[in-house]
Amino acid sequence: MTEKYLRENQWWVSPYNFVPEVRAKLDLPQRVSIHDATLRDGEQTPGVVFSVADKIAIAEKLAEVGVERIEAGMPAVSEQDFEAIKRISKLGLKSKIYTFARAINADIDKAVECGCHGVIVEVPIGYPKLKYQFKWTWEDVLKKSVGVINHAKSRGLHVVYFPYDTTRAREEDLTNLLTRIMQEAPPDAIGVVDTMGCALPVAIQHLVRLVKSLTKLPVEVHTHNDFGMAVATELAGVEAGAECVHSCANGLGERTGNAALEELMVALHVLYGYETQYDLSKLPELGELVSRISNFPIAANKPILGDRNFTRESGIGVDLVVKEPLAMFGTHPALTGRRGEVVLGKKSGKASITYNLEQMGITGVDDEGVAEMLRRVKEKGIEKRGLLTAEEFKDIVDSVVGAVRNAAARL
């Protein structure tokens, strides 16, 4: 049986991810699902506006990739959002459709009217929020929550209770709130929410364990990327037993964004060994669609989606980029719908020149000719402080080959 760290022509990651000493430290749930919030939290990215048609297109692609749950928006925001959610709910997608709601019965009724499966009920619990923004106590939050949760449950919705800014809550406030919620209005799941992206992975683990001990309910983790750790903190939550992680495609979201959907998918499937149903090869299609609609370009070096992820400039091992890519990369480019690429610049070597000549169908260039091409490529790369285009390399090839032919003719 093939080891989980190695799957032929798909990935070859660290075997230490799966050694018993490491796995014994993890409290992994049997299954992890992804709740994607691109259509709500992603649209909260400053300057991003999705039309109804945009939301439908993204929802269809999310379902095609295999996302288990789609947060289609907040129907109370506008008639346009309400219409988009309603139309998405009628598409019959494999993904379950959720809405985002305030602790107001009218928001719950709108979710039902939209035909959704479930609802995320948001309330504040972070102490800075309670003290400075709302002037509330945890008792106020409780009073506003109980009736709404019970109303949502009575209307047949799956209810995720979402006490946001969880990571800045006073532990006694969180404990008191959840203890009373379980007595008076138990939801179906609880969210641990790092609204400001300011918690360490180990802190998220502590909160997941605390919430599970207080409620005995499934726990979901929703984090932001202010310290560049959104994916890491959500995966840390999984290691502590969280059954659902929240995401946005391309890492969209307020400020620095949310945990990136594509990174979570690949990590769960490859690094943790979950046998998911995600179609990872379609991630570039989803990324391009969301990038185009949101008008937010994807960084060239962004994990999973960046154009340069499987690009090699250095001359060492360039033949392996195509022939044996797992010698050069942790995942095979084809796993996520990509291919390896050898580019030319200051750091190229003779093998890079030979490879690119082969791609052009040019043979018979001797070592002296290859060396001259390499010299000119390096010179050009330094001059432009970047990579050569195909046209620039062709000009060099034509010039060198032409010079050789002229020299031969004079003889």
Which tens digit of pLDDT belongs to each residue from 170-225?
A: 999 999 999 999 999 999 999 999 999 999 999 999 999 999 999 999 999 999 99
Length of the chain: 411
Rounded Cα–Cα distance for residues 38 and 352 (Å):
40
Rounded to an integer, the average pLDDT of 287-294 is: 98
Q: Do 290 and 316 have their domain in common?
A: no
Rounded Cα–Cα distance for residues 408 and 411 (Å):
5
Q: Is the pLDDT of residue 315 over 90?
A: no
CB-based contact 42:248 (threshold 8 Å): yes
Q: Quick one: pLDDT at residue 1?
A: 35
Q: Which domain holds residue 346?
A: 311-410
Say which amino acid occupies 311.
T
Q: Quick one: pLDDT at residue 205?
A: 98
Rounded to an integer, the average pLDDT of 144-159 is: 98
Owner of token pair 């972070």: 126
Chain centroid offset of residue 307 CA: 16
Q: Do 175 and 272 have their domain in common?
A: yes
User: 3-class secondary structure for 66-118?
Assistant: CCCEEECCCCCCCHHHHHHHHHHHCCCCCCEEEEEEECCHHHHHHHHHHCCCE
Rounded to an integer, the average pLDDT of 315-328 is: 85
Q: Do 262 and 364 have their domain in common?
A: no
Q: Quick one: pLDDT at residue 343?
A: 94
Owner of token pair 């990590």: 267
Which tens digit of pLDDT belongs to each residue from 233-265?
A: 999 999 999 999 999 999 999 999 999 999 999
DSSP symbol at 18: S
Q: Quick one: pLDDT at residue 37?
A: 98
Rounded to an integer, the average pLDDT of 56-70 is: 98
Supply the CATH number for residue 180's domain: 3.20.20.70
Q: Is the pLDDT of residue 366 over 70?
A: yes
Q: How many domains is the chain built from? A: 2
> Binning pLDDT at 50, 70 and 90, where does residue 402 land?
confident
Q: Do 210 and 68 have their domain in common?
A: yes
Q: Which of 232, 260, 294 is the last residue of a domain?
A: 294
Rounded Cα–Cα distance for residues 147 and 209 (Å):
27
Rounded Cα–Cα distance for residues 66 and 278 (Å):
5
| Residue 271 counted as domain residue | yes
Q: Quick one: pLDDT at residue 2?
A: 53
Mean residue pLDDT of the chain comes to 95
Rounded Cα–Cα distance for residues 251 and 203 (Å):
22
Q: Do 63 and 129 have their domain in common?
A: yes
CB-based contact 116:72 (threshold 8 Å): yes
Q: Which of 267, 294, 321 is the last residue of a domain?
A: 294
Q: Is the pLDDT of residue 409 over 60?
A: no
> Binning pLDDT at 50, 70 and 90, where does residue 321 land?
confident
Q: Do 37 and 172 have their domain in common?
A: yes
Chain centroid offset of residue 167 CA: 21
Q: Is the pLDDT of residue 403 over 80?
A: no
Q: Is the pLDDT of residue 127 over 80?
A: yes
Q: The pTM is what?
A: 0.93
The packing angle between helices 390-410 and 367-384, to 10°, is 140
Q: Is the pLDDT of residue 43 over 70?
A: yes
- Least confident window among 68-77, 114-123, 316-325, 342-351: 316-325
Q: Quick one: pLDDT at residue 179?
A: 98
| Residue 121 counted as domain residue | yes
Max mean pLDDT among 26-35, 323-332, 360-369 falls in: 26-35
Q: Which of 269, 294, 319 is the last residue of a domain?
A: 294
Q: Quick one: pLDDT at residue 363?
A: 87
Q: Do 272 and 325 have their domain in common?
A: no
Chain centroid offset of residue 133 CA: 30
Which tens digit of pLDDT belongs to each residue from 77-93?
A: 999 999 999 999 999 99
Q: Do 37 and 146 have their domain in common?
A: yes
| Residue 299 counted as domain residue | no
Q: Tell me the torsion sign for CA atoms 87, 34, 110, 195.
A: negative
